[in-house]
Amino acid sequence: MLKYLFISLVLSLLFISCTQQPASKEGNQEDPGIPNVVFIICDDLNDYSGPFKGHPQVKTPNIDKLAVSGTKFTNAHSNVPVCQPSRNSLFTGVYAHNSKDFGWTKNFEQEVLQHNKTLMEYLMENGYHLAGSGKLLHVNKKEYWHEWGVDINNYGPFPFNGKDLVGHPSVPEPFRSIGPVDGSFGPISDVPYYHDSISGGNRTGWVYDWNKNFMNYTDEENRDLLPDEMHAQWAVEKIRQLEMGDKNQPFFMGVGFVRPHTPLHAPKRFFDMFPLDEIELSLIKPNDWEDTYYKDIYPADRKGLWYYRDLKESYGGDAELGLKYFVQAYLACIAFVDEQIGMVVDAVNNSKFRDNTIIVLTSDHGWQMGEKNYLFKNSPWEESTRIPMIIKAPGIPSGQTVDHPVALIDLFPTIAEMCQLKGDNRKNENGIRIGGFSLLPFLEDPETTLWEGPDGALTMLGVGINQEEVMKQTYSYRTKDWRYIRYMNGQEELYDLQSDLYEWENLADDENRQAVKKKMNQEMMDIINKEL
């Protein structure tokens, strides 16, 4: 271990000495001009957390505490509400419509993004030490980091029936047959054992991955750790190790927690926080999907529509009961990941880095809970696009709230400005300039009118039917008071969020709202057509 640490330190120092534009390390821990960064991202976490008031029963004491100590952006949105293109955009600062990253291409293989630096590469060039663990980019590349943490499949555990990874046996059909990822939920105390007639005499139970590495479970106190727990413990230990190193060496630590991404499995004590008969569901208007166009444009086997139908069928046609089971598991996984977040944040606050470290907490996109007969991410409405975003930074007042619409695209330039990064964000002329804008003006003054960014947040749905043409995609544009949606076939939706918080009434054809719709469309097109 000592040999490894020594070699790692030497390599880090050699790299820093060879970069063309290194950060000045002089007095790092005393000079708030060169901060450290701890970047925490969850997967599929919508606005179900205390500071963002997305669900009245959610229990997130650690996220709540971080919001009180930092600045919360209550109108923050994903630029692509599905994992890979969202993270590709976030970590390169490039809009997906500019790169034409519409699907599941790795950033380092994507036609445009391979010519752009990731935030990690940009920080490394500027003299930062990079340490990461968990799900950050959808596909990790260790070359982006000086140190990588836990190598494990982040999504597990999965039920294993002796032959295959499957949906949990306690989940009724047909929802269970969706599979071991999206068709599975329940406490890990419900160990999925199978009879010999199914298992063929093979061992069954929880496994971490497709290689069938078993996770042992006896009871809550005697079990193997879940992946997110491993990443949290790694981060806590890494902060301790960094404290023993060069106090003037700035670092960027990335921690990617996968929950509440499916499968929705967590320790039983988190499920016990949310008794099934007490679960509250979103306010859902009957037949709310009738004045929307998603169902008319996208095929019926699209995941959000399909998952809702199967969940309803699995509970005898009782959609409300099915949603209660699903929401219970989702809330349990949020409470679970909140505990992991607290471990990391407390480790920073109890270290010598407390006063010189930026902490960022966010998610790659949201998740829709049955509204408009839809159960999944990657929809154009509020539940899919809205995300938590909290930034705690040295010299910035605590307890601030920003309600101006912002997006994940803005985090790259924000960190770049606050860390005083120099140089080009592109590797060569085939790359694209940063599309977002630094949020520092809002951190300095939440009511500022001097921000150079747009009046709204742009979202593009992932994996369009036509994956080549920019305007043959579906876009959603959210301002303070309105949401405008333009589908790939030109159909439109318009919602007045001042009076219609749940987006129940599509006003796109209302003759009294045509001026608003035209203005929203023009603002959206200005972002899409902007030259970078």
CATH number, position 15 = 3.40.720.10
In a domain, 138, yes or no: yes
Give the pLDDT of residue 463.
Answer: 75
Position 13 pLDDT exceeds 60: no
In a domain, 214, yes or no: no
Residues 6+ apart with CB under 8 A from 112: 94, 98, 99, 100, 101, 430, 431, 432
Question: Mean pLDDT, to the nearest integer, of 207-233?
Answer: 97
How many Å apart are CA 440 and CA 208, to the nearest integer?
Answer: 40
In a domain, 172, yes or no: no
In a domain, 219, yes or no: no
Give the pLDDT of residue 467.
Answer: 61
Which of 10-14, 117-121, 194-198 is the least confident region? 10-14
In a domain, 261, yes or no: yes
Average pLDDT, the chain: 93
In a domain, 426, yes or no: yes
Q: What is the pTM of this model?
A: 0.93
Question: Mean pLDDT, to the nearest integer, of 413-432?
Answer: 97
Q: Considering the chain, what percentage of its residues have pLDDT values greater than 90?
A: 89
For the chain, the farthest-separated pair of C-alpha atoms sits apart, in whole angstroms, at 72
Position 224 pLDDT exceeds 80: yes
Query: What is the band of 29 on the pLDDT scale with cuts at 50, 70, 90?
Result: very low
For residue 243, the enclosing domain spans 2-156+226-529
Give the pLDDT of residue 464.
Answer: 60
Give the pLDDT of residue 471.
Answer: 80
Question: Mean pLDDT, to the nearest integer, of 200-211?
Answer: 96
Position 28 pLDDT exceeds 80: no
Give the pLDDT of residue 5.
Answer: 37
Which of 49-63, 223-237, 459-473 is the least confident region? 459-473
CA 452-458-463 angle, 5° bins: 145
Give the pLDDT of residue 472.
Answer: 85
The pLDDT tens digits for 143-176 are: 999 999 999 999 999 999 999 999 999 999 999 9
In single-letter form, the type of residue at position 421 comes to: L
In a domain, 108, yes or no: yes
Give the pLDDT of residue 248.
Answer: 87
How many Å apart are CA 274 and CA 248, to the nearest integer?
Answer: 46
Helix (H) or strand (E) holding 322: helix 319-349
Question: Mean pLDDT, to the nearest integer, of 337-343?
Answer: 98
How many Å apart are CA 421 and CA 119, to the nearest integer?
Answer: 10
How many Å apart are CA 122 and CA 134, to the nearest integer?
Answer: 20
Question: Mean pLDDT, to the nearest integer, of 289-313?
Answer: 96
Give the pLDDT of residue 103.
Answer: 84
In a domain, 212, yes or no: no
**Number of structural domains the chain divides into:** 1
